[in-house]
Amino acid sequence: MRHREEATANTEITITFGPEQAVSISENGTLLAKGRWWIDGDNYCHDLGIGYGGRQCFQVLQNGSQILLFDLNGYAVLQLEVAQRQE
């Protein structure tokens, strides 16, 4: 599953969730970070390393193609739009 977010007119952020709980983040096709993801109770969690916040968990809300991540204090921290992988 891939999520794409237009950060600016010239920047595309891609988050790719792979098999065996792998996650990677790329900017304009250049890999920025790799880590792992998991589910903890009702929360989505990931660890992208200390440079990207370390271990983090979120509440997830999907509304159509929009996905919102909320920190565990209830604050919206990230909004993504789901895009189908272009083959």
Domain carrying residue 65: 2-82
Contact between 81 and 68 under an 8 Å Cβ cutoff? The reply is no
Q: What is the pLDDT of residues 9-24, one digit of tens each?
A: 567 888 888 889 999 9
Any domain includes 27: yes
Residue 87 confidence class, pLDDT cut points 50, 70, 90: low
- Is the C-alpha dihedral spanning 44, 47, 52, 56 positive or negative? positive
Give the containing element (helix H, strand E) for 16. Answer: strand 11-17
CATH code at position 27: 2.40.128.270
Tokens at residue 41, please?
């109770």
Highest-confidence segment of 3-17, 41-55, 69-83: 41-55
Residue 13: per-residue pLDDT: 81
52: three-class secondary structure by DSSP = helix
Alpha carbons 1 and 85: distance in angstroms, whole number: 8
Any domain includes 61: yes
Predicted TM-score of the model (pTM) = 0.76
The count of structural domains within the chain is 1
Q: What is the pLDDT of residues 24-48, one digit of tens each?
A: 999 989 999 999 999 999 999 999 9
